[in-house]
Amino acid sequence: MNIITTDLEGVIIVEPKVFIDSRGFFMETYNQDRYKKSINRVFVQDNLSYSVKGTLRGLHFQIKRPQAKLVQVVTGEIFDVAVDIRPGSSTFGKWTGVYLSEKNKRQLFIPEGFAHGFCVISEAAHFLYKCSDFYFQHDEGGIIWSDPDIGIDWPVKDPIVSGKDKQLPRLSDIKA
């Protein structure tokens, strides 16, 4: 497996080893012994979402019980984003984005202390992710996807956004 660092400390791109032959392919999507060299977390919950083209989900995080996430696309293609929301971080409010697809088979690891979101650029996408803590509805937080202070260059214009995500505050309006 190949590990690629990003501009945000702790956020890494994982390129798993893929074995391809005339029948198709095989890859390990997670192996605790192999991954612990770069991602030393215990994952407790797996989630799968399906979204149509133009859907934008995020930017989400948990407040008191932050989650690290290992994300990947099973079918389709997305643009995946992590935003540093760690108080005192030298990259606070900065973002990084990466294309994840069924073709490139890349994964993105997002540690605790980051908001996460993605948009679908293919006709549809199945998005699979592992979490280091359980989801708690009353602990969820978020930042509006279009926050001008963060300035994410989303590849989708006029995205499909949930009513809840349309009401999220800007990063500057969130108390530490």
Among 127, 122, 120, CA closest to 70: 127
Side-chain half-sphere exposure of 149, counting CA atoms within 13 A: 13
60 counts as catalytic: yes
* 75, 79, 99, 175 from 85: Cα distances, Å: 29, 19, 21, 11
Q: Which of 60, 116, 126, 135 is catalytic?
A: 60
Q: Which of 30, 35, 129, 135 is catalytic?
A: 129
Among 108, 90, 92, 88, CA closest to 100: 108
129 counts as catalytic: yes
Residues forming the active site: 60, 129
